[in-house]
């Protein structure tokens, strides 16, 4: 049983072509059996009647728009009638005149609705106002203008963060979004290295060098020089790190900044650890704590930052998959004391709390060497274990028993161990360990990863290649240095802090760049010459610079928000 | 008070107003406050001493038409003795093109807003040549006015009485799809009007020769529909006036000396005025920019309602007024979107993919961007009685919008 609903709109003229299109739109809706949309002239009414689309109770004049929908049930019919306005106003975008230059941001947005980015290079005293308008319109901001107050910068960035939008700047000289340079930017090839830059020329130097070394840039996100000051708290840099961490096209991240304030540096390093990607950090003039800590690589110059990023990018074509172990614990069971120590050194920044019988700091001291806690690195060659027993490089028994003990703890997600080959060592350590691990795996409920560091040469008596093969065959991830193992583990255990703010939309980053330029016309020309879609706003100060009028307008805007 | 929601209310009232041309009647019978010695004129109120040539001429002509003066000299001295009164058409729900002079005996169109109930009025269009609205008052001008009142006016009144009225909103919407912008070009709208009114006239007129004359007059005049269109726009903008807190401009009008605007959220008779500018445009042969009178007429009510210069994109036939190419016409409309609050629900433009015309001039945007409304206009000769010398484009002075913003701030305690 079908239901027929109708709607009469008095005095609404539409061309019949528009109405036929509306009629087709209605017919495409689910549940709609038939539809008629006509100016209610006698001829048209007769036509509807012939198609059983004119209920007797319809009264309409020739100047009225008559919409009749026949649907499978009442809900479908009502839904279809409700859609009429939407269908009538639906139109293909951009039937705009290309040479029209709007005077306002809102008009520019209507002209180029797909634009997600607004470049602002107006005089500083007006820049924050334009940026705020852009954020209100849901657009990311590239704020080239300087002389924006710190208070305004903080306010803008907080607003942006609430909306999942980026404010690059103020005083942001460069950015490269999806292959298109904003502001001052070098032409570089696309690639897998993402940049977060709080220094414009620093970012240019690094991106250019990466290009010259044969690699390329996924995106370079500028933050403005003050972003890493404690007052701003690296709001944009944190958003950018998070965004690049989620971007599958970015394999390596480089973080470039003039010296950040110490607390911001600490916080950013922790954010960088959580990206789950190798991050090359160059805080100009800030003494690096180490060459490498887990997934973090510290550079000592701009060119070195580029070199490291390129080297890692070449090496690591696949990102390390996050695994369920990230919420569990690591247990490292070492035969070599120095390997244990180096591993602890590398992991202490990213795995917390972490304990050891060979602690670096007193609070890492493991109370009972026989009982692991949280993340634990044990040196089984320590003299505590050696009483009446052979060294674990010769005898695997102690290590296998300890492996079983750790595996019975369901909070353990990964067991790391070393295999030190060479004269004097066990002749087939991998064979024994692999066999034991297979058994452990069979009994174990839930995820348990094994990682091995194999130390040795191809001339060692154990035949290093067959040792490695046996381990791999048992599903064990093998590294040849502690450094590589540490980085791998850091990434495996990296956990994204659940973000209290909406994430920046990754899809917008990947769409072909479309932008609105407010200010320097050369930035617009540059966008166009790079093949981006852009609209230039013919900007003038509000009320033509008439302070009195501008103040009144500002009051009226505030009034709206109250 | 939220300005945006006040403006939404005002613009919705403007768009949802449904002006129906209901009839034709003598001004004294229908226009509120009309009196035998009252002469309504276009634009903001103005005293005789400051009136321009065309407006003075039209007032003298109207006094002769009414028969209260027998000569120009007598009319002038009556005015100087204060025996006649003047007022702005807008204070009486009325609009008129050019001088816009409307007197008690003149027959006027009656437009009723079926949605909100307000009424508006406009005189009958005289056509081209020497006409009262340009300040002409020679014998042939007066003779034509009498014929219009007695024959044409009666025919229209009787004809419309036969119908439920003519839906002006639908007529304008259709005309916009036929190349009119509703102010300088009303060719299509006038033909639509002729189409709608002809069968009704045929029904009521017994004398074939007179009927032929009436139909010929309506059909020959591509501006026949301008006056009902203006009255329709007046009905719409009046419906939008008086919304507390709204910054939407509800009147733009010129009296040949001053340009005046009114704003929805400000007073009923609160005008903001500045000297009217001289339109820039194209001139009929034999005339030049030097002959042009400062801007005059109530016809800017069309732009106020979102058509005319605002709908330039849809009128490619008259693009010469705005620079010569259809692209210039589109750009003219695009520019007006920047200072308007909404897009019309009912008036759409095919060339912009049926986007609605820019509707509801927002005082705030005009001042902020320094963009004043574009008005398409006819250009009057500065001397009374010469008539139209060209057509072109004019913009109101920015100052009146700034003054209105200050007054708004004072009223609302900003």
CATH classification of the domain holding A82: 3.30.1360
Q: Which of these three, A55, A89, A123, is where a domain ends? A: A89
Q: Which of these three, B197, B229, B261, is where a domain ends? A: B229
- Determine whether the interchain pair A91/B355 forms a contact, defined as Cβ–Cβ distance below 8 Å: yes
- A82 and A202 share one domain: no
- Determine whether the interchain pair B18/A110 forms a contact, defined as Cβ–Cβ distance below 8 Å: no
Residue A488 lies in a domain: yes
- B128 and B261 share one domain: no
- A446 and A420 share one domain: yes
Residue A156 lies in a domain: no
Q: Is the pLDDT at A289 greater than 90, yes or no?
A: no
Which residues from chain A sit within 8 angstroms of residue B405, using beta carbons? 549, 552-553
- Determine whether the interchain pair A97/B334 forms a contact, defined as Cβ–Cβ distance below 8 Å: yes
Angle at B189 between CA B186 and CA B193, to 5 degrees: 130
What is the rounded CA–CA span in Å between residue B70 and residue A352? Answer: 106
Residue B332 lies in a domain: yes
DSSP H or E segment with residue A121: none
DSSP H or E segment with residue A74: helix A74-82
- A377 and A463 share one domain: yes
- B283 and B222 share one domain: no
Residue B4 lies in a domain: no
- B225 and B245 share one domain: no
- Determine whether the interchain pair B367/A556 forms a contact, defined as Cβ–Cβ distance below 8 Å: no
- B255 and B158 share one domain: no
- Determine whether the interchain pair A13/B169 forms a contact, defined as Cβ–Cβ distance below 8 Å: yes
Residue A422 lies in a domain: yes
Q: Which of these three, B198, B229, B260, is where a domain ends? A: B229
Count how many residues are written for chain B. Answer: 414
- Determine whether the interchain pair B355/A546 forms a contact, defined as Cβ–Cβ distance below 8 Å: no
Residue B276 lies in a domain: yes
CATH classification of the domain holding B332: 3.90.1700.10
- A338 and A477 share one domain: yes
Predicted confidence (pLDDT) per residue in A141-159, tens digit: 999 999 999 999 999 999 9
What's the whole-model pTM score?
0.78
Q: Rounded to a whole number, what is the distance in Å from the CA of A139 to chain B's nearest CA?
A: 19
Q: Which of these three, B195, B229, B263, is where a domain ends? A: B229
- A362 and A256 share one domain: no
What is the rounded CA–CA span in Å between residue B337 and residue B357? Answer: 8
- B347 and B209 share one domain: no
Rounded to whole angstroms, what are the CA distances from A230 to A87, A153, A222, A240, A267?
51, 13, 17, 17, 10
Query: Looking at the complex, does the CB of residue A553 fall below 8 Å from at least one CB of chain B?
Result: yes
Query: Looking at the complex, does the CB of residue A17 fall below 8 Å from at least one CB of chain B?
Result: no
- A276 and A414 share one domain: no
Question: What pLDDT band is residue A447 in, cutting at 50, 70 and 90?
Answer: confident
What is the rounded CA–CA span in Å between residue A176 and residue A373? Answer: 46
Residue A144 lies in a domain: no
- B329 and B351 share one domain: yes
Query: Looking at the complex, does the CB of residue B335 fall below 8 Å from at least one CB of chain A?
Result: yes
A38-47, A216-225, B190-199: least confident range: A38-47
CATH classification of the domain holding B186: 3.90.1710.10
- Determine whether the interchain pair B173/A14 forms a contact, defined as Cβ–Cβ distance below 8 Å: yes
For chain A, positions 47-76, list CB contacts with chain B under 8 A: 61, 63
Residue whose entry in the numeric block shows the structure tokens 């005789």 = B48
Rounded to whole angstroms, what are the CA distances from B3 to A297, A559, B310?
54, 8, 23
What is the rounded CA–CA span in Å between residue A516 and residue A143? Answer: 12
Please give the full DSSP string across B87-125, using - where no structure is assigned: EEGGGGTEE-STT--B-TTSEEEEEEETTT--EEEEE--
Query: Looking at the complex, does the CB of residue B213 fall below 8 Å from at least one CB of chain A?
Result: no
Question: What pLDDT band is residue A444 in, cutting at 50, 70 and 90?
Answer: confident
Predicted confidence (pLDDT) per residue in A522-544, tens digit: 999 999 999 999 999 999 999 99
Complex confidence, ipTM: 0.88
Count how many residues are written for chain A. Answer: 562
Residue A141 main-chain phi, psi, to 5 deg: -120, 130
- A353 and A267 share one domain: no
- B251 and B186 share one domain: no
Give the mean model confidence (pLDDT) for residues B320-324.
71
- A469 and A487 share one domain: yes
Q: Which of these three, A32, A54, A89, is where a domain ends? A: A89
Burial zone of B96 (CB within 10 Å; 0-12 exposed, 13-18 middle, 19+ buried): buried
Residue B146 lies in domain: 16-229
- B135 and B252 share one domain: no
- B225 and B257 share one domain: no
Q: Which of these three, A437, A462, A493, is where a domain ends? A: A493
Residue A416 lies in a domain: yes
Residue A45 lies in a domain: yes
- A337 and A450 share one domain: yes
- Determine whether the interchain pair B330/A553 forms a contact, defined as Cβ–Cβ distance below 8 Å: no
- B223 and B259 share one domain: no
Q: Is the pLDDT at A21 greater than 90, yes or no?
A: no
B74: which 2 tokens? 């007598």
Count how many domains chain A has.
4
- B356 and B402 share one domain: yes
C-beta of residue B225 within 8 angstroms of C-beta of residue B192: yes
CATH classification of the domain holding A286: 3.40.50.261
- A393 and A338 share one domain: yes
- A470 and A352 share one domain: yes
Q: Is the pLDDT at A337 greater than 50, yes or no?
A: yes
Predicted confidence (pLDDT) per residue in A215-245, tens digit: 999 999 999 999 999 999 999 999 999 999 9
Residue A529 lies in domain: 508-561
- Determine whether the interchain pair A560/B169 forms a contact, defined as Cβ–Cβ distance below 8 Å: no
CATH classification of the domain holding A557: 3.40.50.720
| pLDDT in the model for residue A559 | 62
C-beta of residue A503 within 8 angstroms of C-beta of residue A512: no
Query: Looking at the complex, does the CB of residue B1 fall below 8 Å from at least one CB of chain A?
Result: yes
Count how many domains chain B has.
2
Other beta carbons less than 10 A from residue A270's beta carbon? 13
A392-401, B228-237, B364-373: least confident range: A392-401
- A487 and A443 share one domain: yes
Which residues from chain B sit within 8 angstroms of residue A543, using beta carbons? 367-368, 370, 402
| pLDDT in the model for residue B391 | 86
A36: which 2 tokens? 């008629």
Q: What are the residues facing A477 on neighbouring strands? A: A451
Q: Rounded to a whole number, what is the distance in Å from the CA of B250 to chain A's nearest CA?
A: 19
Which residues from chain A sit within 8 angstroms of residue B170, using beta carbons? 11-13, 63
Q: Which has the closest alpha carbon to B353: A100, A90, A99, A16? A: A90
Query: Looking at the complex, does the CB of residue A551 fall below 8 Å from at least one CB of chain B?
Result: no
Query: Looking at the complex, does the CB of residue B269 fall below 8 Å from at least one CB of chain A?
Result: no
Nearest residue of chain A to residue B5 (CA atoms): A560
Report the residue of A96, A100, A537, A551 to disrupt the B interface, i.e. the one with the largest count of B CBs within 10 Å: A100
- B252 and B277 share one domain: yes
Predicted confidence (pLDDT) per residue in A461-498, tens digit: 999 999 999 999 999 999 999 988 988 888 888 766 65
Residue A138 lies in a domain: no
- Determine whether the interchain pair A13/B337 forms a contact, defined as Cβ–Cβ distance below 8 Å: no
DSSP H or E segment with residue A132: helix A124-136
C-beta of residue B216 within 8 angstroms of C-beta of residue B190: no
Residue A110 lies in a domain: no
Side-by-side strand order, sheet with A296-298: A180-183, A174-177, A217-222, A190-197, A252-257, A279-283, A296-298, A292-293
């Amino acid at each position: 049983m079908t239901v027929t609903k109708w709607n009469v709109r008095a005095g609404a003229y539409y061309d019949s072509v528009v109405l036929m299109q509306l009629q087709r739109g209605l017919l495409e809706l689910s549940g709609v059996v038939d539809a008629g949309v006509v100016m209610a002239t006698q001829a048209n009414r007769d036509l509807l009647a012939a198609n059983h689309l004119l209920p007797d109770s319809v009264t309409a004049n020739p100047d009225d728009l008559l919409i009749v929908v026949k649907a499978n049930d009442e809900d479908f019919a009502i839904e279809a009638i409700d859609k009429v306005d939407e269908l009538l106003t639906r139109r293909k975008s951009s039937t705009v005149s290309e040479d029209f230059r709007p005077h306002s941001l809102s008009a520019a947005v209507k002209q180029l609705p797909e634009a997600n980015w607004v470049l602002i290079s107006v005089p500083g005293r007006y820049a924050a106002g334009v940026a705020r308008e852009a954020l209100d319109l849901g657009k990311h901001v590239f704020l080239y203008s300087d002389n924006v107050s710190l208070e305004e910068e903080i306010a803008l960035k907080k607003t942006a963060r609430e909306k999942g939008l980026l404010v690059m700047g103020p005083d942001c000289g460069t950015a490269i979004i999806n292959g298109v340079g904003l502001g001052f930017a070098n032409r570089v090839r696309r690639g897998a290295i993402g940049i977060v830059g709080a220094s414009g020329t620093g970012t240019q130097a690094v991106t250019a060098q990466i290009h010259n070394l044969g690699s390329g840039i996924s995106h370079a996100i500028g933050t403005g020089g003050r972003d890493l000051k404690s007052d701003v708290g690296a709001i944009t840099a944190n958003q950018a790190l998070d965004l690049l961490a989620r971007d599958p096209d970015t394999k390596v991240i480089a973080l470039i900044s003039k010296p950040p304030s110490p607390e911001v540096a600490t916080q950013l390093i922790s954010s960088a650890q959580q990206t789950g990607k190798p991050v090359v950090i160059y805080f100009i003039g800030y003494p690096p704590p180490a060459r490498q800590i887990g997934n973090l690589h510290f550079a000592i110059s701009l060119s070195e930052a580029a070199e490291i990023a390129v080297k890692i990018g070449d090496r690591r074509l696949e990102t390390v998959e996050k695994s369920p172990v990230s919420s569990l614990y690591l247990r490292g069971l070492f035969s070599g004391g120095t390997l244990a120590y180096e591993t602890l050194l590398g992991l202490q920044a990213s795995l917390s709390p972490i304990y050891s019988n060979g602690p670096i700091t007193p609070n890492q001291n493991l109370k009972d060497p026989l009982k692991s806690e949280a993340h634990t690195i044990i040196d089984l060659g320590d003299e505590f274990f050696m009483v009446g027993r052979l060294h674990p490089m010769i005898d695997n028994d102690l290590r296998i028993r300890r492996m079983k003990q750790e595996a019975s703890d369901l909070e353990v997600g990964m067991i790391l161990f070393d295999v030190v080959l060479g004269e004097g060592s066990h002749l087939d350590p991998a064979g024994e360990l692999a066999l034991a691990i297979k058994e452990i795996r069979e009994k174990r409920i839930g995820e348990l990863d094994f990682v091995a560091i194999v130390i040795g040469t191809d001339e060692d008596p154990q035949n290093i290649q067959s040792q490695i093969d046996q381990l791999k065959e048992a599903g064990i991830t093998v590294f040849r240095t502690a450094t590589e193992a540490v980085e791998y583990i850091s990434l495996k255990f990296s956990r994204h802090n659940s973000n209290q703010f909406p994430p920046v939309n990754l899809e917008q980053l990947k769409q072909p760049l479309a932008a609105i330029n407010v200010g320097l016309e050369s930035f617009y020309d540059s966008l166009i010459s790079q093949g981006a879609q852009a609209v230039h706003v013919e900007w003038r100060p509000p009320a033509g610079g008439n302070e009195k009028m501008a103040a009144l307008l500002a009051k009226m805007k505030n009034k709206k928000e109250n | 008070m939220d300005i945006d929601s006040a403006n939404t209310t005002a613009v919705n009232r403007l768009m949802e107003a449904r002006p129906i041309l209901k009839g034709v009647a003598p001004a004294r019978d229908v226009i509120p406050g009309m009196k035998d010695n009252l002469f309504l004129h276009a634009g903001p109120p103005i005293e005789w001493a400051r009136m321009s040539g065309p407006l003075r001429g039209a007032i003298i002509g109207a006094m002769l038409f009414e028969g209260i003066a027998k000569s120009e000299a007598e009319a002038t001295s009556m005015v100087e003795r204060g025996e006649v009164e003047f007022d702005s058409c807008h204070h009486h729900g009325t609009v008129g093109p050019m001088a816009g002079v409307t007197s008690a005996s003149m027959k006027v169109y009656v437009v009723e807003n079926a949605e909100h109930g307000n009424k508006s009025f406009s005189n009958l269009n005289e056509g081209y040549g020497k006409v009262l609205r340009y300040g002409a008052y020679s014998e042939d001008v007066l003779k034509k006015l009498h014929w219009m009142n007695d024959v044409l006016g009666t025919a229209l009144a009787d004809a419309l009485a036969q119908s439920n009225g003519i839906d002006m909103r639908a007529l304008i919407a259709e005309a916009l799809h036929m190349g009119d912008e509703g102010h300088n070009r009303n060719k299509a709208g006038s033909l639509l009007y002729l189409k709608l009114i002809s069968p009704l006239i045929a029904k009521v007129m017994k004398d074939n020769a007179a009927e032929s004359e009436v139909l010929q007059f309506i059909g020959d005049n591509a501006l026949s529909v301008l006056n009902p269109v203006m009255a329709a726009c007046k009905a719409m903008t009046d419906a939008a006036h008086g919304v507390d807190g709204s910054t939407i401009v509800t009147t733009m009008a010129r009296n040949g000396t001053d340009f005046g605007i009114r704003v929805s959220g400000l007073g009923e008779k609160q005008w903001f005025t500045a000297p009217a500018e001289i339109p820039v445009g194209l001139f009929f042969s034999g005339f030049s920019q030097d002959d042009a009178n400062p801007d005059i007429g109530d016809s800017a009510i069309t732009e106020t309602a979102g058509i005319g210069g605002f709908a330039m994109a849809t009128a490619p036939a008259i693009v010469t007024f705005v620079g010569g190419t259809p692209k210039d016409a589109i750009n003219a409309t695009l520019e007006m979107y920047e200072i308007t609050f909404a897009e019309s629900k009912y008036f759409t433009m095919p060339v912009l993919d049926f986007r609605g015309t820019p509707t509801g001039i927002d005082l705030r945007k005009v001042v902020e961007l320094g963009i004043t409304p574009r008005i398409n206009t006819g250009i009057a000769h500065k001397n009374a009685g010469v008539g139209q010398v060209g057509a072109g484009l004019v913009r109101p002075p920015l100052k009146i919008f700034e003054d209105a913003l200050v007054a708004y701030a004072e009223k609302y305690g900003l």
